[in-house]
Amino acid sequence: MSPDIKTLQKQTETLLKKAKEEKLTTDDIFDLREALRFHEHRYYIQNDPLVSDFEYDTLYKGLEKLEAEAPDLVSPDSPTQRVAKGLTKEFPTVPHLVPMLSLDNSYNSEDLLDFDRKARELTGQTEIEYCVEPKFDGASISLVYENDQLVRGATRGDGVRGDNITPNIKQIRTIPLSARFSAYGLQTVEIRGEVLINKNNFKQFNEALAEQGAS
């Protein structure tokens, strides 16, 4: 069972105090990881941070230093493992566990009625409730977790094989490096979705590149 917010806030305060006094030890590694994951979730998912960027960076650098001193204690789901040492621009291809298919577009009511008919026939239901939402146009990806750890991220590719972009995927802080699927009896889990960037962030990204003389 995960600690509650008050416990994690108290834990954070204790760790920040120890970091300021340079008293962090390898015994604090687990608590540092737990605190950093909590604050990443508050910042990137809930958009409601409870610590400043400086405080987060203090905890992060503290964990990074301890892991450098004790590399045998580094775990693949540690927040420090998001940062890849040199991202590759040439990606090896990997087969999808199950082909990543796509839906056909529809521009008339006849197509929609035909889709509904097929859906009812396949499910054996006389009525089906649909949820309709605007379509985001992003990059389709597949995430594979084994034994609760993120082991692979891949593009859709041709639907059968995609590019292995695992190091790049780990840069996205809204994607968890680990998840407790085993608690539900699941050892291998594949999650599919789309990677998006909002227009404001995209604009800031391009401006930063321009300042660096990149295009």
Which residues are designated catalytic?
Answer: 135
What Cα–Cα distance (Å) separates residue 113 from each residue in 33, 108, 109, 127, 134?
Answer: 51, 9, 6, 12, 19
Pair of tokens at residue 31: 């608590």
Q: Is 178 helix (H, G, I), strand (E, B) or coil?
A: strand
Residues 6 or more apart whose Cβ sits within 8 Å of residue 17: none
Tokens 């040439």 belong to which residue? 90
Sign of the dihedral defined by the CA atoms of residues 12, 18, 20, 25, in that order: negative
